[in-house]
Amino acid sequence: MSRKEVIVLLGPPGAGKGTQAKELSQQYGFAHVSTGDVLREAVKQGTPLGKKAKPIMESGELVPDDLVAGIVSERVLSGGEGVTILDGFPRNLPQAEYLSGAAGDIPLFVINICLDEETVMKRLAGRRYCPNCGKIYNIFFSPPRQEGICDVCGSELAQRKDDREEVVAERLRVYRQQTQPVEDFYKGQGNYFEVDGAQEPEQVSKQMSTVIEQIQAN
């Protein structure tokens, strides 16, 4: 498919949007833009955008709309043909309205990966990573053999600042208040699909592929 299209991935933090977006970009050759990844990279590089975003991201709040809209405009809406998976945007109604206006004739499809809050909390607050080799663990679902120590390289495991329980609770509150209305915004517009994010990643992928095939048949 060469025409320009945008597939928006919705879903709470921890629903697996990033994992699924990577899978789809490998399987179908789609471009993948994650606003969270772009912001994290900006923080790492210490750019002006990163300096503004860092304290906001660490508190679990949303970065101002104009900053993220700039990322979407540059990396998703400009440029040539092909499908882009947009992961992490829109997060509130003004962003959804911006996207509809700025996309113009570019068709938008929305896939919502649904997941309950209890599972979100376990997936995120339980997540640990190895700062040395990058391996990811979860203290509830896939713990290391020895508590707090990487199985692969023996380094001490760490937790992302925005995965701390109180920050996850705040991210969930922000999701409930600001992002859930975005689901209703799209539900009324057609081109909206839902996938059950509580399944194993392979099952979620299968359901995603079925949706993509429906979209491509359009």
| 160 included as an active-site residue | yes
- For residues 91 and 182, what is the distance between their CA atoms, to the nearest angstrom? 7
Nearer to ligand AMP, 61 or 151 (CB): 61
Q: Which of 160, 161, 176, 206 is catalytic?
A: 160
Q: Locate 78 and state its tokens.
A: 């400009």
Closest approach, Cβ 95 to ligand AMP, in A, equals: 6
Nearer to ligand AMP, 1 or 67 (CB): 67
Helices (H), the chain: 17-28, 35-45, 48-59, 65-72, 93-103, 117-125, 165-174, 180-187, 201-216
Q: Which residues bind ligand AMP (CB under 6 A)?
A: 13, 35-36, 39, 56-57, 60-63, 68, 88-89, 91, 95, 171
Q: Do 117 and 177 contact (CB within 8 A), yes or no?
A: no
- For residues 200 and 16, what is the distance between their CA atoms, to the nearest angstrom? 10
Closest approach, Cβ 34 to ligand AMP, in A, equals: 6
| 40 included as an active-site residue | no
| 171 included as an active-site residue | yes
Closest residue to ligand AMP in the complex (CB): 36
Residues with catalytic annotation? 17, 91, 127, 160, 171
